[in-house]
Amino acid sequence: MQRSLMRSLFALALLATIAPAAACRGDDERRELILATTTSTQDSGLLDVLIPRFEEESGMHVKVIAVGSGAAMAMGERGDADVLLVHSPAAEEQFVAAGYGVERARVMYNDLVIVGPPRDPAGVAGTSDAAAAMAKVAAAGAAFISRGDGSGTHAQELTLWAAAKIEVPTGRGWYAESGQGMGATLTIAAEKAAYTLTDRGTWLAAADRESLPIAVEGDPRLFNVYHVIVVDPDQHPRVNAQGARRFRAFLLQQDTLRLIGEFGRDTYGQPLFTPDPE
């Protein structure tokens, strides 16, 4: 008796697991597009403007997964995303060279700035040489919060340490890695009165700007360029390449670029991104 009892319980449990899955299938594959992108495009609100327009125009349904550029490219490598909008040029070139992505195209840029506490313990406020500023922060041992998450901004930060000829200060008391998105990292930096590297868009949109003013801006090394990349459908048969190409074309069309250039002007008095197709 006990055995058949167990068997019926097991069958019931199995049924309960499978039933909801079966009920939810049938989403048309070609109408669904997974966009893996950076936290900055989501936290700034830009995608809230662009995606509904694209969905209306194309009749497709976009799932936006906002992670760091590194994680976005990892998703592309596995074919877990169809199209990427990322800003980590060196890693992107490797990604394309390795055959994971095709048709990489420049869409827009914004700039990165170094922000820090108003009392400016490292004495870098108002300067424009980012590498020199990083060296000063290190020399002063002033608190610095790194993204530490393999995102595009994190990659840029590592380039700056290299340019300043300083070993990445992981493990030093004044250097901390948040491991989170830009918005969250800005909150932490403000709370801990620390310097951090941020894109201007997220800073304008998310930060408590009075307690975390801009210290360093205008260095050409601080340009933050966003590219769209179609995940190579030859590597992963499940990738919706047609949808990905359509999204790429949408980003590069005149209307969209104008929209990108206008975004943020009414709220922040200045645009957050500058459209810059090749």
Partner 1 sequence: MDLLWEAFREAWRLLSTGDGDVYGITARTAAITGTSTLVSMVIGIPAGLGLALGRYPGQRTLVAFANAGTGMPPVVAGLFVSLLLWRSGLFGGLRLIYTPTAIVFAQTIIATPVIVAITAAAVMALPPSLHLQIRAMGAGRIAYLWLVAREARLPILVAVMAGFGAVISEVGASMMVGGNLSGETRVLTTAAVLEVSKGNFGTALALGMILVAITVAVSLALTAVQQRAQRR
Q: Give the pairing of strands 101-115 and 61-66.
A: unpaired
Q: Give the pairing of strands 32-37 and 83-86.
A: parallel
103 touches partner 1 by CB under 8 A: no
Nearest distance in Å: CB 1, partner 1: 6
5 touches partner 1 by CB under 8 A: yes
Binding mask of the shown chain, residues 17 to 46, with x at each position contacting partner 1 by CB under 8 A: x--xx-xxx-x-x--x-x----x--xx-x-
DSSP 144-179: EEE--SS-HHHHHHHHHHHHTT----TT-TTEEE--
178 touches partner 1 by CB under 8 A: no
Classify residue 256 by burial, with Cβ atoms within 10 Å: 0-12, 13-18, 19+. buried
What is the spatial distance between Cα 43 and Cα 182, in angstroms, rounded to a whole number?
8
The SS3 call for residue 224 is strand
Nearest distance in Å: CB 57, partner 1: 18
Among 93, 208, 253, 255, binds partner 1 (CB under 8 A): 208
Residues 239-278 that bind partner 1 (CB under 8 A): 239
Among 30, 63, 258, 265, binds partner 1 (CB under 8 A): 63
Q: Which stretch binds partner 1 (CB under 8 A): 85-93, 145-153, 184-192, 214-222?
A: 184-192
Q: Which stretch binds partner 1 (CB under 8 A): 117-125, 162-170, 177-185, 222-230?
A: 177-185
CA distance to 26, 73, 107, 137, per residue, from 154 (Å) = 39, 14, 20, 17
Say which residue the tokens 């380039």 belong to. Answer: 159
The SS3 call for residue 22 is helix
Nearest distance in Å: CB 114, partner 1: 19
Positions touching partner 1 (CB under 8 A) are 1-6, 9, 12-13, 16-17, 20-21, 23-25, 27, 29, 32, 34, 39, 42-43, 45, 48, 63-66, 78-80, 180-184, 186-187, 205-208, 236, 238-239
